[in-house]
Amino acid sequence: MNSQAAALKPVAAVSESDMANAIRALAMDSVQKANSGHPGMPMGMADVATVLFSRFINIDPSAPNWPDRDRFVLSAGHGSMLQYALHFLLGYDDMPIEELQRFRQLGSRTAGHPEYGHALGIETTTGPLGQGIATAVGMALAERMLAARHGADLVDHFTYVIAGDGCLQEGISHEAIDLAGHLKLSRLIVFWDDNSISIDGPTSLSTSMDQAARFKAAGWHVQSVDGHDTEAVGAAIEAAQQSDRPSLIACRTVIGKGAPNLGGSEKTHGAPLGDAEITATRENIGWDYAPFEVPDDILFAWREIAERGQAARRAWEQRLAASPQRRALESAVAGNLPDTVFDALGAFRKEHVEKATKVATRKASEMALSAINAATDLTVGGSADLTHSNLTITKGMDRIAPDDYAGRYIHYGIREHGMAAAMNGIALHGGFVPYGGTFLCFADYARGAMRLSALMGQRVIYVMTHDSIGLGEDGPTHQPIEHLAMLRATPNLNVFRPADIIETAECWELALKSKTRPSVLVLSRQNLPMLRQAHSEEAHSEEAHSDEPHSVENRSSHGAYILREPAKHRAVTLIATGSEVEIAVAAAERLETEHGIAAAVVSMPCWELFEEQDADYHKAVLGSAPRIAIEAAARLGWDRWIGDTGAFVGMTGFGASAPAPDLYRHFDITPEAVAAAALKLII
Ligand SMILES: Cc1ncc(C[n+]2csc(CCOP(=O)(O)OP(=O)(O)O)c2C)c(N)n1
Ligand SMILES: [Mg+2]
């Protein structure tokens, strides 16, 4: 805890109104100093936050990650100064007053919007409106699931959310509240900052929604209170805690509350109040202190809250120490997958290299998942209503249902964005490794939350099937073209497009081991032959001298590798991913037998991991011969690998509705087309 705390002594009884005014002053002064930020929301919600923290929340700033803490999510992330003011007042070690004075500056912990990992106690990154509330649904679900496994004695906490008009207008909120209401996530309590103001002015400019009716229709417990009446807020929280459903507390507030001239106006939303209005506000709320000064008695009152949390945490630790669940819970929360998972995947690869199993990579993924899910129960699966297309459920996975959270399969419904955000919440909460499926094309719908998986560095695994025109008859609405480029352009995201059953199992292993980076597994609907050849590895692998059997070595871990090296010096290198690797191999054979041209084939299941290899490895794999990339998708990005003298065989526009083989011929993605492109390059 902050060193200042020890010296503090209670001077006089401090009211919640004084405590709230500390938030108001810190928010308006920090925004003024930064000359940037959003004072209105923290000032409007200061009373609600004070009641929540002073009377209810269980967090311990000296142990910010203890597993049974309550979760607090500031979904209206533009009000970040509310969170930073709270953290300073509660005494988080890493949030001294200087951090508030550095609000929004380079290298400070007080970024423009709360960012997971930037400061202790920030449970998730918010700012893109609607993400927080949808992520919180995943946290609240994870809490129920962890409680079902380890008992209410060890897992029993609430997820509190502050959401604004913006969060509730965003489409993702609909997906989130529907799912939460259906699953009866009774430990989820959302405060709506019902101030009827957003950036453009009154919300009546753009909405007539009866939010209370909307939440009720989704199965929520709904209350409305004056958000400045602390007794009413306290009573509402108590009632919400007792409900067997998720709760909305609509808090009628005044944006910029306390500012005598600007309060209630959109002008306080996202701009400094200005010196004159700040002076007037100080007078109006009776705050007689200099900027960034909080008197000892008020600070003491805040720090006492932290002590309550510390006591709760200590009591929990004692229960944990005495519990037979201790090991299991600790290991789940640490997210450690047992070695048996990886042993099983190694055995899987060996078996299927020997059998040369030919299956769609979505089927291969299901088969790999069967092995994974049998070896650990940390994985929790799901799909956005495409379970039997994505092949995400395996034997013995019971479904999660309202009031029954013991299972490990989540029917997310047709809610790709909500699913992705919920998976972020599950991963952030801890205790599980979430994976979830949809069609690759609908990565667009999930994108906002996928970006946050990457930004927050969470182990979330996206199983995205039907990955190209190879899905066939469903046509161009369902055939992804630009999606691989979009996903590959996203920092800190591994995009895996395996070519066969062996690479699929390898990519699953890499995704599971990737604790600080999400993964997308891009999988085919159509069958693909097993391509891993023993001879190509023995002769040319950089690990040729490895004692490990080739079928156990994870070649996809390099991102790309030489699948086929010709006996003669390479005249051309064919680089492909996923279903097009088969085409590249056929083209190489054709070039050799019909034209005597030596062609190497490089399988490149993961650009990002290949990028991370050293220059020698790049050179060895890519070679110095002209290169052709083959991928049934947009060209964007491929020039990085094929260089100025290369060629690309792929899509140049949208697909079409027809059987897959016809489409490959129609769009000229065939061994013949690749061979012709090679001849053109070489001769
Ligand atoms: C997805 C998304 N769209 C747009 C924005 C830009 N934006 C930030 S705050 C805001 C208005 C939010 O209104 P409200 O939640 O009512 O906040 P208040 O003005 O009451 O603080 C907008 C449009 C954003 N942050 N995220
Ligand atoms: Mg508002």
Q: How confident is the model at residue 6 (pLDDT cuts 50, 70, 90)?
A: very low
pLDDT tens across 209-257, in order? 999 999 999 999 999 999 999 999 999 999 999 999 999 999 999 999 9
Please give the full DSSP string across 502-542, using - where no structure is assigned: HHHHHHHHHHHH-TTS-EEEE--SSEE-----HHHHHHH-T
**Which ligand 1 atom minimizes the distance to the CA of 164?**
15
Q: What pLDDT is recorded for position 534?
A: 55
Q: What pLDDT is recorded for position 552?
A: 60
Q: Answer yes or no: is pLDDT of 142 > 80.
A: yes
Q: What pLDDT is recorded for position 683?
A: 80
Residue 315 φ then ψ, to 5°: -60, -40
Residue 106 φ then ψ, to 5°: -55, 130
522 sits in which H/E element: strand 519-522
Distances (CA, A) of 383 to 322, 386, 477, 656: 38, 6, 20, 26
Q: Answer yes or no: is pLDDT of 540 > 60.
A: no
Distance 645 CA to ligand 1 centre (A): 47
Q: Is 416 a catalytic residue?
A: yes
231 burial level (CB within 10 Å; 0-12, 13-18, 19+): exposed
Of 516, 379, 381, nearest to 459 by C-alpha is 516
C-alpha span between 20 and 515 (Å, rounded): 39
pLDDT tens across 546-570, in order? 444 444 689 999 999 999 999 999 9
Q: What is the DSSP letter of 404?
A: B
From 416, 537, 580, 608, active-site residue: 416
Percentage with pLDDT > 90 across the chain: 94
Distance 304 CA to ligand 1 centre (A): 33
Q: Answer yes or no: is pLDDT of 151 > 70.
A: yes
Are residues 67 and 333 in contact, defined by beta-carbon separation less than 8 angstroms?
yes
Question: Quick one: average pLDDT of 461-483?
Answer: 98
Q: What pLDDT is recorded for position 191?
A: 99
Order across the sheet with 647-650: list the strands: 561-564, 599-603, 572-576, 627-631, 647-650
Q: What is the DSSP letter of 224?
A: E
76 Cβ closer than 6 Å to some ligand 1 atom:
yes
Are residues 325 and 151 in contact, defined by beta-carbon separation less than 8 angstroms?
yes
Distance 246 CA to ligand 1 centre (A): 24
- Which residue intervals of 206-336 are DSSP H helices? 211-217, 230-242, 275-285, 296-321, 326-334
pLDDT tens across 168-212, in order? 999 999 999 999 999 999 999 999 999 999 999 999 999 999 999
Of residues 110 and 5, more confidence is placed in 110
C-alpha span between 227 and 162 (Å, rounded): 12
How big is the CA angle at 539 (ends 534 and 543), to the nearest 5 degrees?
85
**Distance spanning both ends of the chain, measured CA to CA:** 72
Q: What pLDDT is recorded for position 546?
A: 46
pLDDT tens across 509-526, in order? 999 999 999 999 999 999
Maximum Cα–Cα distance for the chain, whole Å? 94
Are residues 246 and 220 in contact, defined by beta-carbon separation less than 8 angstroms?
yes
Distance 231 CA to ligand 1 centre (A): 28
- Size of the chain, expressed as the number of residues it contains: 683
Are residues 144 and 185 in contact, defined by beta-carbon separation less than 8 angstroms?
yes
C-alpha span between 88 and 78 (Å, rounded): 18
C-alpha span between 193 and 41 (Å, rounded): 8
193 Cβ closer than 6 Å to some ligand 1 atom:
yes
Of 521, 413, 375, 402, nearest to 462 by C-alpha is 521
Q: What pLDDT is recorded for position 8?
A: 52
Letter for the amino acid at 165?
A: D
Letter for the amino acid at 468?
A: S
**Which ligand 1 atom minimizes the distance to the CA of 77?**
25
Of 573, 554, 651, 679, nearest to 618 by C-alpha is 573
Of residues 6 and 607, more confidence is placed in 607
Nearest CA owner, ligand 1 atom 18 = 198
pLDDT tens across 425-469, in order? 999 999 999 999 999 999 999 999 999 999 999 999 999 999 999
Q: Any idea which residue has 């011929």 for tokens?
A: 665
Q: How confident is the model at residue 539 (pLDDT cuts 50, 70, 90)?
A: very low
Question: Quick one: average pLDDT of 324-338?
Answer: 97
Q: Which two tokens stand for residue 106?
A: 């380079």
Q: What pLDDT is recorded for position 244?
A: 98
- State the average pLDDT for the chain: 95
pLDDT tens across 269-278, in order? 999 999 999 9
379 Cβ closer than 6 Å to some ligand 1 atom:
no
140 sits in which H/E element: helix 131-150
Letter for the amino acid at 641?
A: W
Among 82, 115, 191, 199, which residue has the most ligand 1 atoms within 8 Å of its CB, making it the best to mutate?
199
C-alpha span between 350 and 362 (Å, rounded): 19
Q: Please name the residues in contact with 553: beta carbons below 8 A apart, sequence gap of 6 or more.
A: 537, 541, 543, 546
Q: How confident is the model at residue 260 (pLDDT cuts 50, 70, 90)?
A: very high
Strands (DSSP E) along 111-270, which ranges? Answer: 159-163, 188-194, 197-198, 201-202, 221-226, 247-252
Q: What pLDDT is recorded for position 13?
A: 80
**Which ligand 1 atom minimizes the distance to the CA of 79?**
21
Query: How many CB atoms are closer than 10 A to CB 456?
Result: 21
Are residues 630 and 647 in contact, defined by beta-carbon separation less than 8 angstroms?
no
Q: Answer yes or no: is pLDDT of 545 > 90.
A: no
Q: What is the DSSP letter of 112?
A: S
Distance 402 CA to ligand 2 centre (A): 32
Residue 158 φ then ψ, to 5°: -105, 155
Are residues 437 and 464 in contact, defined by beta-carbon separation less than 8 angstroms?
yes
